[in-house]
Structure 1
Amino acid sequence: MDADETEIRLEKPATALRRGWTTGACATAATKAALTALLTGTFPDPVEITLPKGEQPAFPLARENLSTEQAMAGIIKDAGDDPDVTHGALVIASVRRLPEAAGIIFRAGDGVGMVTKAGLPVAVGEPAINPVPRQMMTEVVTTLCQEHGVSPDVEIEIAIGNGAELALQTWNPRLGIVGGLSVLGTTGVVHPFSCSSWIHSIHRGIDVARAEGYAHVLGATGSTSEKTAQDFYKLPDIACLDMGDFAGGLLKYLRFHPVPRLTIAGGFAKLTKLAQGALDLHSGRSQVDMVWLADRAMALGAHVDLRQRILCANTAMEVLELTREQGLDLPGAIAAEARTMALETLRGAPVEVDVMVMDRAGKLLAHAR
């Protein structure tokens, strides 16, 4: 772990990891089970669905209820070995037939959020059920209704147990998704410790900020640096992108979806790695180069004996303290080179960039702009 950020980060264990299923896959399976029961009087248990890439997992039912006009089925989400906030949550689908030509209508039950801001792949005023899960559920409904000779006019209400509370641990409040979680998934499969979901959230944050007309966004490596930079510029939460270690994911998306101004804020060690050219700042995927730091210190006029002390240092923060003793502005050099790296990654996109380097307590050490 880099020593300049205070938040807790989960590390991938060394043992083999078990895959899991997305919320969208669980919602689709629950929908199929409920509609099957409504049409036949019997719940399939387990219920099998086909995922976008052809896999056919089967899901045991955790809850079921059938009346003359409505059926409900619930499935416990299994995210495998991924530290997913929704692991173990009860995903419930309630379905009922609608008048002919009504179509397939999605509703948000308890624990599923509603979209209130533009820029997301779902329209404002709609339940936060993403396009791929909607398509999966639509295909299930269409197929079952064709098999039983009825029109595919069905209301699907998705609920997630404790979803409103769980959503507070996600990006949903910042993205304008209120009241609960989103029903997500593009493949139906959760790959443990995958970076894709985090980068996807960064992209959606940029989309929402653009749609809301914000001209200045903030990407920070952690909560401490984010607070300092947010207070400095008085930015609203919606303009704060949870960049974390994924500087590349942020910058490459802005290359094609630019916002006029970007502030990158982070601790000394994280931004040293960005200055070195790393776009993934995770401690397991990039390291601070002490030779590189020693060269920068020497360029700033460090005494010759300091070079060897830097090469023997254990952490970037130790190097920072060593250079402070000689009055060297190493954070300023790091901020400037990190800004250069960001601009190079943007490849001429119309984005003004400034970089803020913080210490562990969130104090501003350098600002390149």
Structure 2
Amino acid sequence: MSELSFDAPVWHHGKALRKGYTTGSCATAAAKVAALMVLRQHLIHQVSIVTPSGVTLCLNVESPHIEGQQAIAAIRKDGGDDVDATHGMLIFARVTLNDSGEITLTGGEGIGTVTRKGVGLPLGSAAINRTPRHTIESAVREAIGPARGADVEIFAPEGEARAQKTYNSRLGILGGISIIGTTGIVTPMSEESWKRSLSLELEIKRASGLTRVILVPGNHGERFVREQMGVDTQTVVTMRNFVGYMIEAAVRLLALRHISGPPGAGRG
């Protein structure tokens, strides 16, 4: 994706929607600029990164701070016109240089912890997905060179509160947000992003040992099967508007039990 295509809006129902960038891009940029600051020993107020999709982002740095061989910097998440629970929050990185030659990456305050199998990360690890892990480590390595080592901590003071408005608890990610993004760019109204998050829930159900699930249209459907049918919501997965896709995924990954919901449940 070129810079021009990033600047070009996404059209949805005749309305131009602005693209944004992911928590993964924020963490990568924050880690890179913190590494550069501790090396150069002066504050930096703007940093550029290249996202996995090839887009170059030039981002403003907030709260830069240097103390000896450690530096901290933050990037404010901008989801464009796809305003999710993390929009507007600060993603921080703390980088401490050492002589180990290795780069270690951890999650601090406000970054969720993986408590269930199925998300592709080790149990007990920070919820920093594979692509952001790679981009963070690569950006820091580029900044510090081949010989030095660094301890990198990603943290988000608002993360635990913001995570309550996400799917994280359903996915077994507790205590904070996830650092995510396969392309580094947020595309408003992206069906693929919705599908990935919904099918990930099926993967987690399978990894937990479930062999059957109940698919429901949305929140009303989930409430219906819980209150009217006495169903354990651990077996329930919402489909939103992706009925065909979710049925196919459930058949492929599990044994689909049935689809349920009150008349007119929709996606609410």
TM-score where L is the length of structure 2: 0.88
Aligned to 2:30: 30
Query: For the structure 1 residues 64 and 106, does the alpha-carbon distance in structure 2 shift closer, same or farther, using more than 3 Å as the test?
Result: same
Paired amino acid for 2:41:
G
For 1:253-272, list aligned pairs within 5 A: 253-256=249-252, 258-269=253-264
State the shift of 1:91 in Å: 0.7
For 1:46-195, list aligned pairs within 5 A: 46-101=46-101, 103-146=102-145, 150-151=147-148, 153-195=149-191
SS in 1 for 2:94: strand
Q: What CA distance in whole angstroms lies between the structure 1 residues aligned with 2:226 and 2:192?
A: 25
Paired amino acid for 2:259:
I
Q: What CA distance in whole angstroms lies between the structure 2 residues aligned with 1:127 and 1:35?
A: 20
Which of 232, 239, 257 lines up with 1:235 in the alignment?
Answer: 232
1:217 paired to 2:213 = yes
Aligned to 2:6: none
Contact 2:22/2:79 (8 A) holds in 1: yes
Contact 2:224/2:262 (8 A) holds in 1: no
Which of 188, 191, 200 lines up with 1:204 in the alignment?
Answer: 200
Q: What CA distance in whole angstroms lies between the structure 2 residues aligned with 1:98 and 1:247?
A: 51
Question: Which runs of no fewer than 5 residues in structure 2 stay unpaired?
Answer: 1-11
Query: For the structure 1 residues 98 and 236, does the alpha-carbon distance in structure 2 shift closer, same or farther, using more than 3 Å as the test?
Result: farther
Question: Which runs of no fewer than 5 residues in structure 1 stay unpaired?
Answer: 1-11, 271-280, 283-359, 361-369
- Give the number of equivalent residue pairs: 256
Q: What CA distance in whole angstroms lies between the structure 1 residues aligned with 2:120 and 2:42?
A: 35
Query: For the structure 1 residues 246 and 37, does the alpha-carbon distance in structure 2 shift closer, same or farther, using more than 3 Å as the test?
Result: same
Aligned to 2:9: none
Paired amino acid for 2:173:
I
Identical-pair percentage: 32
State the shift of 1:155 in Å: 1.7
Runs of 4+ residues deviating >6 angstroms: none
Paired amino acid for 2:132:
P
Per residue, is there more helix in 1 or in 2? Answer: 1
Paired amino acid for 1:234:
V
Q: What CA distance in whole angstroms lies between the structure 2 residues aligned with 1:63 and 1:125?
A: 29
State the shift of 1:233 in Å: 5.0
State the shift of 1:190 in Å: 0.5
State the shift of 1:69 in Å: 2.6
Query: What does the per-residue CA deviation read over 1:63-84, in whole Å, with 9 as the maximum and x for residues that have no partner?
Result: 1111113110011111111121
Q: What CA distance in whole angstroms lies between the structure 1 residues aligned with 2:66 and 2:158?
A: 23
Paired amino acid for 1:121:
G
Query: Larger relative CO (CA 8 A, sep 6+): 1 or 2?
Result: 2
Query: What does the per-residue CA deviation read over 1:44-75, in whole Å, with 9 as the maximum and x for residues that have no partner?
Result: 32100011122111000121111113110011
Query: For the structure 1 residues 228 and 58, does the alpha-carbon distance in structure 2 shift closer, same or farther, using more than 3 Å as the test?
Result: same
Q: What CA distance in whole angstroms lies between the structure 1 residues aligned with 2:226 and 2:207?
A: 20
SS in 1 for 2:147: coil
Aligned to 2:243: 247
Q: RMSD across aligned C-alpha pairs, in angstroms? A: 2.0
Per residue, is there more strand in 1 or in 2? Answer: 2
